[in-house]
Structure 1
């Protein structure tokens, strides 16, 4: 009887290992918690196609948009931890806990696999604006507090947070003008209804090239090859300033380590392919392809940074 029981225990313990060894044996769902057509969705589809080839299995992008990504994030956080439901998310994941009351904990309920890429924002002003540099913005804001306006796609968006981080760093007073989404905010900036906007480089670069908008600075640590003459915020005098729209891939917590490791390795191999790097670069994104540990360290800093920004502002947490 002891031998039978021991055999049964050993057999049961081998089930996860066998499942991991056979993984994946059916299609994988890559959940994007934003609407189709956006930058995150476009990049996710590039990754999904190549990852499917690498794993010899279909990787299907599934859009579950709404509530700044919370609907899709919550869906994956509650999904079975078997490696068949992945989350392709972005910076709002790290902002949401600071501005919304959630029914899950992003830091605890989702396991980071790899940070895929980072995309900097650029500070743009209308073509005919008298503002030509960060120095001009700071000078005017200090001379006439509250006279300058900055647009965003809404409180809690990366666009708003980049502007708020900028405002707090320089200790200046600017008026935030929220719109229902980023598109109307950009058009209001083009039309001069607002003074400026921090916006994703990939979505706004065509307007810059067409001379509809003027760029004052970029939010990355170093200058972009797409705009080599545009200085960073740090170069302009605000040391340590960085704000990105990052993309990363997650699985539910308790996903077997063997599966997480296989996914991480496969995704990093995909991101190392020259054609993938070229595609991401064309959209203004810099490939990172971090390890799980590196992504976790980055996320801890992101959660803390945006929580601090919200804490220093007068933002009221949504219930």
Structure 2
């Protein structure tokens, strides 16, 4: 299944989930949720993609529900510290947590991180940050093929920086090696921003990063390829992997989860609120300008989405285990 906003948005509408959500905000609160401020936990440091997009959501959530949203950072172990604590919170929908796939698939598959993928009760996925390979503006790599040629001729010499171990960037580096035959050395950093700093400082050859970092860095960098179905509006001169002959569309899929035991009607209400936020033209414009791809994966579609992603990642995960 191609993961696009249209695919999941139309499916949600056909189920009737979105109709009430997009009409009257009072219907969203028919089950009495939320009744007070909502604590929105981000498992990473402030300023990263998860934090930025939560703050994009915040004013819309507050306008729709009439309740405040408190954004709290709980960084550690590439998100694992917070995700392992998720089910210890009160299951009433007033503590919600940012989640990321493939992190929550890859981490427990690689080692004991205090949670299993099945422990994360996602209610909605609202965007993905497309994979992108970014180099310094004065890099000798003028194209993706230049980088592939060097990495193929000199296995392991080309260094890719990324956000942590057993994360989306780590997995994308393995996927890149598989689809091109070019082996780079992956160097984990504490976030996507520190990896980009290393690119700009010349400490690493490239970043296996996201479109958002390419947009943010502007003329200081050259983005060689992006993992989207069509070119990114904010990076119009950058080709997609597909254009270059590689079947790769994906990145870090961000969603919202609640503790296990949260009542089904509250989960559905929260999913509907997030769907309504995604439908806001102002929210879409913010996301697009920053390099994000908005998608609608509501509560009813989440299990199938997770299984699809697990199957897609399985070969690369097995290679990482044997590395």
Q: Is the 8 A contact 1:158 1:245 kept in 2?
A: yes
Deviations 1:120-145 (A, max 9, x none): 13211222323222222223333333
Q: Where does 1:1-319 land on structure 2 (aligned, <5 Å)?
A: 21-91=31-101, 92-107=103-118, 109-207=119-217, 209-210=218-219, 212-239=220-247, 241-313=248-320
Give 1:314 shift.
5.1
Deviations 1:20-72 (A, max 9, x none): 83332222221111122222112112223321221222222222221111122
Aligned-partner Cα distance in 1 for 2:72–2:189:
26
**Which structure has the larger Rg over C-alpha atoms?**
1
Partner of 2:15: none
Q: More displaced, 43-52 or 178-187?
A: 178-187
Q: Is the 8 A contact 1:77 1:104 kept in 2?
A: no
The aligned length equals 294
Taking a change above 3 Å as real, the CA distance of residues 264 and 154 of structure 1, as seen in their structure-2 partners, is closer
> Normalising by structure 2, what TM-score?
0.82
Taking a change above 3 Å as real, the CA distance of residues 139 and 77 of structure 1, as seen in their structure-2 partners, is same
> Normalising by structure 1, what TM-score?
0.83
Gaps (5+ residues) in structure 1?
1-18
Aligned-partner Cα distance in 1 for 2:315–2:96:
29
Give 1:179 shift.
3.4
Secondary structure of 1:288 counterpart = strand
Gaps (5+ residues) in structure 2?
1-28
Aligned-partner Cα distance in 2 for 1:268–1:150:
35
Aligned-partner Cα distance in 2 for 1:127–1:120:
20
Q: Is the 8 A contact 2:233 2:288 kept in 1?
A: no
Q: More displaced, 97-106 or 66-75?
A: 97-106
Q: Is the 8 A contact 2:151 2:182 kept in 1?
A: yes
Q: Is the 8 A contact 2:48 2:193 kept in 1?
A: no
